[in-house]
Structure formats: structure tokens, C-alpha cells
Structure 1
Amino acid sequence: MSFYQVNPVQTNVLYNKALEYADLSGDETVWDMYCGIGTISLFLAQKAKKVYGVEIVPQAIDDARHNAEINGITNAEFFVGKAEEVVPDIYKKGGDGSHADVVVVDSPRKGCDQVLLDTLVHMAPERIVYVSCDPATLARDVKILQEKGYEAKKVAVVDQFCHSGHVETVVLLSHKKPDGHINVKVEFGEGEGKVPLDNIAKRAEEYKPKERVTYKMIKEYIEAKYGFKVHTAYIAEVKRDLGLPMYDAPNAVEELKQPRKHPTAEKVEAIKDALKHFEVI
């Protein structure tokens, strides 16, 4: 039941590249997401202060703990469960494991869950090393992390699956730092050189976050205006074609991989109209 890379020679190349990008000095706390049997975790533990690994398969975690024991590694701790559930829970509770200087992600082909990405941003590690077997979901997640304050610094491709079109990719993302600081003194109230409080309230209203648009809202809008229903998978397909985020309905995206009918031109236009109505596009 435990995952292991099929090419042991290139696995050594891959994990050494991940270790290089992690750039550990010995004082860091590191999280290894989707750690499997702890291979990357134990690579990192040799040069880190503490490493935490999380994996959903219990047998893999048993192997990880055994591997740590037979290799004499005592600074690695492993958790069983979904990364998007375990890590946010530990972060919210605070204490050991709630902070990370470096995070390594070796995600499954579907990429990272949005909840996990949000938690990583809150943990604010200095570096994120993202290992991926699917360049498409990697690009999607890197784009999200870049929008949240991270910058892709280095990329390496490892020919892990010889004689095929598949590769493993390693990306180093670093937290962006401000170039400098400007101190501004502002006085509120009435009179010359002061900012009226009415203006503050008006600007706050202008910058108030928009309501999150759900698939249910889109479906209800279309049914009310056009008189027909659209499947969630159709909305997902149109959003995917437009390059929009798909996290709202990951199952709908998976459905599209199965043979099924595509939305008619009429339904495509109705979905686009709804997306414009809710200012998604």
C-alpha cells in the first residue's frame, strides 16, 4: 500500500535536487506534505532541526517511522491523515509543528487542495519546494502561490519515467520581501491636511471583498433566466476552458475525464452570461 518511486536511480537525483532547493542550514523546521514512506523527510532530516511528515496511507506512515528508526533519525515526526486536514488543524492549535521555515510538497497528480495552499500561505515558510509529476496541476498551484506572495526562483526537470512523455518537476518558491518601507502619518477628521472619515468608509466599501460565487448560484441564475438546468460538470468545463480556478468543484473536473456529453452551445453561452453577471469574467 506504500508509494515508492519506480526509478531508484533518478529518485536519488530528484530528492537531492529537492534537498538542494530546501537549502537547509540545520536550524530549520520543515514540513513534508504527502510524505509517503518518508524518503524526502529523512533526506531533509539529515540537515534540518526538525521535520514533520504527513501522509494519508497508514501503512506508509508505519514504513516512514520504521525507516527513521533503522537509519537512526530521531528528529522526524509523522502524522496519518489528509494533508489538507492535518496541517490546518495543527496550525490552528499552535505549538509544535504550527510553524515552518521550509515546506516540501510532493503532491499526487491532482495537485494540492486549496485549503492546504491557504494554510501554507498562513504558515509563511521562507521557501516552498514543490515536487510534481503533473506539470499542469503544478502550474495551477504555483500560480496561486505566486498570487499569495511567493515567487518561482528555480525549476528543474528530472527524467523519472524514461521512454515516456512524463517527467518529475521540482520548483523552488521563495517568499517575496518588500524592497523597502515608507512611513506615512495620516490624521483623520475635518480641516486642512486631514482625511475625512466619510472618505474612509466610502473607500472601505469600494474595496470590500466580493461575495464568493458558487456553482449553486450560477445554476440558479441560469434556471431563473433561461428556464433550463445545467450540470455542475458543464460549468466546470466552461470555467476550465476559460482558465478559471477549479477548486469549487474538484469532483466535477474529475467527471470530465469520463466519457460524457459536452454542453450545447446554448448552455455554454448561458454559463458565460452567468459568469459575467457575477463578475467572474
Structure 2
Amino acid sequence: MIEKNDILTGKVQSFGSDGEGVVCAEGCVFFVPYALPGEEISFKALKIKGNTGYGKIEKVIVPAKGRVQPKCPVFYTCGGCQLQHADYETQREFKREKVKNALRKIGGVEAEVSPVVACESEYGYRNKLQIPVGGDANGHTALGFYAERSHRLVPVEKCYIHPAWAEDLMAAFREYIAVSGAKGYDERTKKGLLRHLVAREIDGKLLVTVVATARKLPCEAWLTGRLQKLFPGCGVYVNVNTGDTNVIFGDRFYLLCGAARLEGRTGGIAYEAGAETFVQVNPEIREKLYERAMEACFAGGADTVIDAYSGGGLMTAMAAKRCKRAYGVELNKEASACAEALKAKNGLQNMTNICGDAAAEVPAIMDRERALWQKESAGKAVSSPHGYGEKVALILDPPRAGVARSVLQAILKSGIERFVMISCNPATLARDLGILTGTLREENGVLVKVPAAETGETSGKESGKFFDGESIDGELPDGAGEREITAYYKIESVEPFDMFPQTKHVETLVCLSKKSEKHISIDVEFGESDGQISLKKLQKELNEQKLKKKTTYKDIQKWVEENYGFKVHTAYIAEVKRDLGLPMYDAPNAVEELKRPRSHPTAEMSDAIKAALKHFEII
């Protein structure tokens, strides 16, 4: 039996999701940081729980071909990077497998993952510095990064994945700490002034933010003067964060000197970025990623693009240059204001910025697009199996937490035929893709994988399992809300981009489409003349259908319980409907291998269900 601090040997089988080596030893699976696949190592067992453990590498007995000497002297103690001990090709292969494994294990999605798009600058690529201020081992205020899986500060004087300006800025801030005597924030005692130093660089200009627990900084004039001399024209903010939280910024920003925003240019777009505005940290890969996103977005010939989680509006503007209308939806007010400035700066009259929740705004935009499509189609021959959704493309670039469930449901019901999704977190990407492709569904508030027998394929075949965010057992009801899921999405491509060399992180671009396998194309003319389809009459019929309440399985269950005094399962309702020859959705459960024989409704239950169907005028 393995005990803590035992020294073990073994061969590294593969990478773990965080870049650690996976080693099997004496029936236990160990995760060992800084071990590479193919290596034979000795390691100390630090923690064991069941048949899983964590270890610390003691010696590399047989090194992997891809092992290299780390560039940073504090690499093995600082938690900022995880892969400097691996050559670049090994890093790229790890990230490709990381994405592939996350899709399969978390989302139940099998997809071909392209090789990782490489970054020419393996070091010095970051345009943003975000470094904690706290106490070192001796209690002195220091700048540094947290050790892996801890909040123990590791002081650093230089970070190799940042350019030279970051080293100069950190040196100047250490001078300020010495001059002012300001103390770093202690998470245990909740005392101290300085919490973080944050800086962004665009086209040689800097925007610096000191995150502190109070508005007034000691020796404030000394700090602003020193930074202005070192970085002419730089803007300097104080952000006040008094919360007991690991969130970096508080709500209040105060500009001490210089410009409030930085100006830059990418993809032919002039843009602005404030202290909070999201901008990708690697300019080289950002250019490649956004260009590929635009190619994928317009591959289907979209006239309109919706950019949800649009941030400062950069991709919205790039899309606006290529289409009739582009909408940016962003919840953060400061970022939305930057997007408005970007719109004006670039003269993009076809770009609309909306500060709001994508869950509500995407359906509203689609309703607007439908009205425009109907108006533009009047008197014209139109060929479309999908309606107005076919000409609309969507861009999703959510934060690490992924796409909100309400937004996913809005997308599934939107009719949008094509969209691209960008993610910096393979785990939440896999979860969201599972929902969008139908390989995950919600049961009792928990996401579970849908058996392959139900989905037919893992690429998003139509099964219609979600209606208004509600999980339905058995076949689907005849009506379940005005916006129904007619088909899930299928994945066309998965392309990782190495936005963060030397680290475990990876950016991924996924292209999805919703194309029914069963449709016909017909040419029709809309208008009010003879031989044309009247839009007024069509709208009247649609309004009448909306006014007529659709009967759901819940309605039937409630009616039976109120009138017969017992409950009936949705599967029983489906069976009675099938026996009566009523129209049904495709039965995805028909070939499911059941864990136990399925029961059938009693004669009394069948009679009650038939009575309910008569009551609701279904039969």
C-alpha cells in the first residue's frame, strides 16, 4: 500500500489537463508536474485519495526527447508558466490533445481537432501585465506570481513571457514601494494597501492601473511622475477594490494622469481600449485568430453578424466591414462605450452596439432581422430552406466561465444557421458544445451525457431535447413554447491557437452550422399581387397561431391529475399518442438499450390520457 512521502518510479503515460505527467504506479494514477510523456521518473507521493494521487518529481531517469532547459530561473516555483521544460512542438501537441480530450470526456463530443496554430514569438508575447502585490517569505512587500495551486507569492524581477517594458515597469513600482512604504495586501489579515499592478501596452503606449484598498496612494505624485518619465504619455489609474475576493478589479476607477484609453489598429480597424476592456493578450495570434474567425463567419454568405460578448467591439467592426449589418452585444458598460468610440472612429454606420444581456438581445435582433428579411423579400424570388436565420451568422467569444446557459438556449432557438465560437477554456468550451450539439442534456439541474443511441451522431443531429430550457423525458410534446429547438448544431472544425506559449492555456476556434438533413428548396414570390404569397395574410396566420395556446405534456399531466387523481409519466402520454396514430417527433429513444424493461400505462391511465387529449382537442 502506497503511503505519503513514498518514493516511486514509473513511466509517464500522457499529459494531464494542466500539463502534468500522468504516471501509473502500484494501481494508483499519479499526476506529477514537470514530467513529460515517455519519461521514466522517480517521484514522491505527496497526496493520495483512493486510486488517485499527486506527486513531486525527484529525478528524471530517462528524459523525453522534448525536454529542454527552462529559460526562467523561478520556473519550477512560480505558477505563471507550466511548460517551459518542454520544447515547442511538445507544447503544441499537448494543447491539441487537451482540447480533444476535453471535448470527448466533458462534452461527449467526438471531433477532429486541427494542429495548433503556432506563435512565432515563444517568449515576450504578452501585451498585458497582471501581477499581484503582497508579502514575500520575510513579510516584505513584493511583486510576484502565485505558486501553482496556492496563494503563496513568488517574487519575480523579470517575466520572460512579457516584453522588456514589463520588467521596467516592475522595477519602477518596486522603487515606488521603497519610497512610499506602502504595504502589500495580506489575504489572511485583510490588511495592506496594494493588491495588483495591471498594465496594458498597445502600439508602444501604456495604460497602468494600481489596484488598492483605498483611493489615496502615498507619494502619488512621485509615482505618476516616475511612470510619465519612463513611459511618456502613459495613463495611470487607481482602482479601488475592498472586497474579500480573488477578482482583480473593484468597481471604482480614478484617472490620475494621462490618457483614459489607448488607441490601436488591427485587422484594418482603429480601436480604443480602457483599463477593463478585453483585448487578446497576444497580438500576433490575435491577428491570425480574428482573420480565421471572419473567414469562417462569412463562409455561408452572411448578410448580418451578431457578435455576442463583443467586448470593445473589435470583431464587430471587422464583421461590419464585410456585411450589411453587424450587432455587438456586451454587458460591460465601459467596454460597450469603447465599442461606440470604435464605431465613430471607423465611420461604421452599419454597426450597432447594444449594452445588454445576450440572452435577451440575440432573440430581439433575430426578430428585427426577420422583419427586415420579409420586407426585403417582398416581390422577389426567394430560395431558402431555413428562412431568415440562414443569412445571419453569430460570433461568440465568452469569458473563461463560458457561455451562460440562458444564452445557449437563446441561440438554440434563434434559427441562426452558422456561427463561430472562440474559447480560452477547453473545459467550458466542451460543456457548451455538448449543449449546442445535443450530446449533453439537463436532468434535475445537472448536465448528463446523452447516450449515442439517442443522438444517432455526436455532431448535432436533430433530436429536439430542449424546449424552453426544460428537459423532457420520452418523445417530445406537440408544443413547448413559441421558440422551439428544431435542430442542434454540428461541428465543422475545431482549430486551437497558441495564444499563450509556455503555459497550459490554449485558445480554440470552433465553427458550427445548423443544416437540416431533410429539406427541400422552393422558389416563392412574396407580395400582394395575384400569384404571390401575401405577407399580410401570412403575418395574420402567424399571429393567430401565437394566440392559440399550445398543449404541452405538462398540461396533459396536470389535467389528468386534477380530474382523475393520479399522475401519468410523459412516456405513457407518448405511448398513447403513438397508439392513436397522432403526429410525433422522431423518437430518439426508440433504439435505446434500456437498463430495465419499460413499463406501460394501465387501462385506466390510457383512458385518462385519451380524455385529456379530447379535452385539449388533440383528438
Aligned partners of 1:24 and 1:47 also within 8 Å: no
Relative to structure 1, is the Cα distance of residues 119 and 160 closer, same or farther in structure 2, using a 3 angstrom cutoff? same
Any unmatched runs of 5+ in structure 2? 1-275, 374-387, 439-486, 521-575, 588-619
Counterpart in the other structure of 1:133 = 424
Q: Quick one: which amino acid aligns to residue 397 of structure 2? A: D
Give 1:1-281 correspondences, 5 Å limit: 1-23=276-298, 28-91=303-366, 95=371, 101-147=392-438, 148-179=487-518, 199-200=579-580
CA separation of 1:199/1:118 partners in 2, compared to 1, >3 Å: closer, same or farther? same
Q: 1:72 to 1:25 in 2, by over 3 A?
A: farther
Distance 1:202 1:24 in 2: 40
2:312–2:336 CA contact under 8 A, matched in 1? yes
Would the alpha carbon gap of residues 151 and 123 (structure 1) be closer, same or farther in structure 2, given more than 3 Å must change? Answer: same
Shift of residue 95, structure 1, vs aligned partner? 4.7
Q: Secondary structure at the match of 1:123?
A: coil
Tell me the equivalent position of 1:243.
Answer: none
Q: Retained in 2: the 8 A contact 1:160–1:167?
A: yes
Identity %: 33
Q: Given the superposition, is the C-alpha separation of residues 146 and 25 from structure 1 closer, same or farther in structure 2, using an over 3 Å criterion? A: closer
How far apart are 1:50 and its partner, in Å?
Answer: 0.6
The one-character-per-residue Cα deviations of 1:44-89 (angstroms, maximum 9, x if unpaired) are 1111111111111111111111112112222110111222233345
Q: Give the Cα–Cα distance (whole angstroms) in 2 for the partners of residues 150 and 117 of structure 1.
A: 11
RMSD of the TM alignment (CA)? 3.1
Q: Which has the higher strand share?
A: 2
In 1, the alpha carbon distance for the partners of 2:326 and 2:434 equals: 26
Provide the rounded CA distance (Å) in 2 between the counterparts of 1:202 and 1:180.
22
Question: Larger relative CO (CA 8 A, sep 6+): 1 or 2?
Answer: 1
Higher helix proportion (structure 1 or 2): 1
Q: Mark the CA change 1:14 to 1:201 in structure 2 (over 3 Å): closer, same or farther.
A: same
State TM-score, norm by structure 2.
0.29
> 1:197 offset after TM fit, Å?
7.9
Which residue identity does 1:164 align to in structure 2? T
In 2, the alpha carbon distance for the partners of 1:146 and 1:66 equals: 36
Alpha-carbon separation, structure 2, partners of 1:11 and 1:58: 23
Secondary structure at 1:10 match in 2: helix
Contact 1:55/1:79 (<8 A) preserved: yes
On the 8 A contact 2:363/2:414 being kept in 1, the answer is no
Q: Give the aligned residue type for 1:68.
A: K
Partner of 1:259: none
Letter in 2 for 1:79: I
Aligned to 2:150: none
Secondary structure class of the residue paired with 2:315: helix
TM-score by length of 1: 0.61
**Distance across 2 between alignment mates of 1:27 and 1:82:** 23
Q: Assess, with a 3 A threshold, how the Cα gap between structure 1 residues 90 and 43 changes in structure 2: closer, same or farther.
A: closer
Change (3 A) 1:203 1:16: closer
CA distance in 1, matches of 2:299, 2:346: 20
Amino acid at match of 1:165: K
Q: 2:281 is matched by which residue type in structure 1?
A: V
Q: CA contact under 8 A between 1:24 and 1:48: conserved in structure 2?
A: no
User: Residues 44 and 89 of structure 1: is their aligned pair in 2 closer, same or farther, counting only changes over 3 Å?
Assistant: closer
Structure 2 CA distance for aligned equivalents of residues 32 and 198 of structure 1: 43
Q: Distance in 2 between matches of 1:88 and 1:180?
A: 24
Q: Distance in 2 between matches of 1:117 and 1:197?
A: 31
What is the total number of aligned residue pairs between the two structures?
Answer: 193
Per the alignment, do residues 67 and 180 of structure 1 end up closer, same or farther by CA in structure 2, a change over 3 Å counting?
Answer: closer
Q: Is the 1:25–1:48 contact (alpha carbons within 8 Å) kept by the matching residues of 2?
A: no
- CA separation in 2, counterparts of 1:20 and 1:2? 25
Q: Which residue pairs with 1:242 in the alignment?
A: none
Between structure 1 and structure 2, the one with the greater Rg is 2
Which amino acid in 2 is paired with 1:157? P
AA at the equivalent of 1:110: A
1:144-186 per-position Cα deviation (integer Å, ceiling 9, x unaligned): 11124211001111111121111110000011322467xxxxx
